Amino acid sequence: MSTTRSLLAAAALGLATAGAAHADSAEKLVTVVTSGNAQTQLMSMVLTAQAVEQGAEARILLCGAGGDIALSDAPESATAGQPPRDASPQGLMQMLMGRGVTVEVCAIYLPGLGADDSALIEGVGVAAPPAMGAAMMDEDAQIWSF
């Protein structure tokens, strides 16, 4: 009986230690936003901001309807303030950019619109698939998808 308890205690300790080690090493974040829903877009920025506040190195990839928040002529849903703090997805994204967060649209987003990078707000780039793939494959990276 004591051998079983010892094995269970060792397994529990191992799981706890593995979780703590993973949490400590996960200092990079790639937030992928594909939703066109303004509340989902805003929450993706809120949570990314929280990760940055806690020391994460973040990068944001905007694809499909999620890319619309990066447009200089963005839909009102991307720029209108939402409760409870009257923040907008685009406004919070720009705040994150000011804190050094890289924001890029998917490589196929602008060609799909028939537009070029002049359609984007200043500071938003176009993701190079090899670089974004490498960022997502980084062993220290967490991927959040909205």
Q: What is the CATH number of the domain that holds 67?
A: 3.40.1260.10
Mean pLDDT over 2-26 rounds to 40
Residue 133 lies in a domain: yes
Q: Using the 8-state DSSP alphabet, how is residue 66 labeled? A: G
pLDDT at 24: 52
Sheet holding 57-62, edge to edge: 125-126, 102-105, 57-62, 28-33, 141-145
The answer, as to whether pTM is greater than 0.85, is no
Mean pLDDT over 84-103 rounds to 97
Residue 128 lies in a domain: yes
Q: Which domain holds residue 85?
A: 26-145
Do 67 and 109 form a contact (C-beta atoms < 8 A)? yes
Residue 60 lies in a domain: yes
Number of folded domains in the chain? 1
